[in-house]
């Protein structure tokens, strides 16, 4: 049936079917934040993928291609990988917004030199980037967005029947538009703190021009850091609302991409 037969009959056919279903689920989890974090063991990711695949095999009538290792079967698997990666990438775009906002705020505060390894991407990120990323992760888990994301993966088997569906041009365009939304969200996250820091920098510049004997760097850097911390504390309730909304928007964007035609 699958071009490779080990002689186990129906049991083997079900095993190949589950492995085919795991392709889309595994690609989505590999691209999505939290699940793809370096802190999540590969064995756990495979276990989650297998558990979801077992549910999909029980709840749907998804069938693997007749010859999974043939050219047509490999094309079908490539389609599954593309759909899964697209779904995870949309979530990843949402998680990039706080990181971009943190980069802007850190640069204005003078704290861009304080960097650490980001556990999600493995790349370097500022200390504020880590702070924003942790807050968004907590908000994402608090509103059960991770469960909704898994639910959308299961639902995608109805929207994109395996072996015969590819992403349309409208869906690719939708993913690109999410990139613009990500930049707009980053600006909204950084705007309150950045405005306060700009005012502090203007005042510092006026003071330094009025009293040239004062050291601008010795005065401006501590003032910028202190004002930035105070601004972050004052804007914490607003930031909490924005991140909760962002966590909900992440799942909504995936759903929008699924229904776009």
Residue 5 in any domain: the answer is no
d(CA 35, CA 32): 6
149: its two tokens: 């994301």
- Which range of residues forms the domain containing residue 79? 10-259
Helix (H) or strand (E) holding 64: none
Residue 112 in any domain: the answer is yes
R_g of the chain, CA atoms, integer Å: 24
* Exposure string over 228-261, b if 16+ CB within 10 A, otherwise e: beebbeebeeebeebbbebbbbbbbbbbbbbebe
CA 206 to chain centre: 42
Q: Give the chain's mean pLDDT.
A: 79
pLDDT digits over 142-194, tens only? 888 888 888 888 888 888 877 666 777 777 777 888 888 888 888 888 888 88
Quote the number of domains for the chain. Answer: 1
Find the mean pLDDT for residues 134-143.
87
Residue with tokens 């942790």: 134
Do 175 and 257 meet the contact criterion of CB atoms below 8 Å apart? yes
Backbone angles phi, psi at 117, to 5 degrees: -75, 130
Residue 39 in any domain: the answer is yes
- DSSP assignment letter at 31: H
Residue 252 in any domain: the answer is yes
Residue 4 in any domain: the answer is no
Residue 43 in any domain: the answer is yes
Residue 248 in any domain: the answer is yes
d(CA 29, CA 107): 32
Helix (H) or strand (E) holding 124: strand 124-126
pLDDT digits over 18-51, tens only? 888 888 898 988 888 888 877 778 888 889 888 8
d(CA 139, CA 243): 7
Residue 128 in any domain: the answer is yes
65: its two tokens: 């291609």
d(CA 108, CA 127): 14
What pLDDT score was predicted for residue 2?
47
d(CA 80, CA 161): 9
pLDDT digits over 44-103, tens only? 888 988 888 888 888 877 777 777 677 777 888 888 888 888 888 888 888 888 888 888
pLDDT digits over 205-238, tens only? 777 777 666 666 667 677 777 888 888 888 888 8
């Amino acid at each position: 049936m699958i071009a490779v037969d080990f002689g186990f009959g129906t049991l083997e056919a079900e095993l190949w079917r589950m492995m085919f279903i795991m392709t889309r689920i595994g690609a989505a989890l590999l691209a999505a934040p939290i699940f793809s974090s370096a802190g999540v063991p590969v064995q756990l990711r495979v276990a989650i993928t297998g558990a979801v695949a077992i549910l999909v095999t029980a709840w749907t009538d998804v069938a693997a291609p007749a010859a999974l290792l043939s050219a047509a079967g490999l094309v079908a698997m490539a389609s599954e990988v593309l759909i899964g990666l697209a779904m995870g990438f949309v979530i990843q775009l949402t998680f990039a917004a706080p990181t971009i906002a943190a980069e802007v705020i850190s640069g204005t505060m003078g704290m861009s030199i304080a960097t650490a390894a980001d556990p999600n991407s493995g790349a370097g990120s500022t200390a504020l980037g880590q702070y924003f990323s942790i807050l968004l992760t907590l908000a994402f888990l608090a509103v059960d967005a991770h469960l909704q994301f898994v639910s959308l993966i299961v639902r995608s088997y109805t929207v994109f029947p395996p072996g015969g569906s590819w992403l349309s041009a409208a869906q690719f365009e939708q993913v690109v538009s999410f990139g613009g939304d990500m930049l707009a969200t980053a600006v909204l996250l950084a705007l309150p703190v950045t405005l306060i820091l700009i005012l502090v920098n203007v005042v510092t510049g006026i003071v330094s021009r009025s009293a040239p004997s004062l050291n601008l760097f010795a005065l401006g850097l501590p003032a910028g850091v202190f004002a930035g911390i105070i601004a972050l504390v004052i804007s914490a309730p607003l930031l909490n609302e924005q991140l909760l909304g962002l966590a909900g928007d992440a799942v909504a964007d995936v759903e929008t991409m699924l229904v776009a035609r």
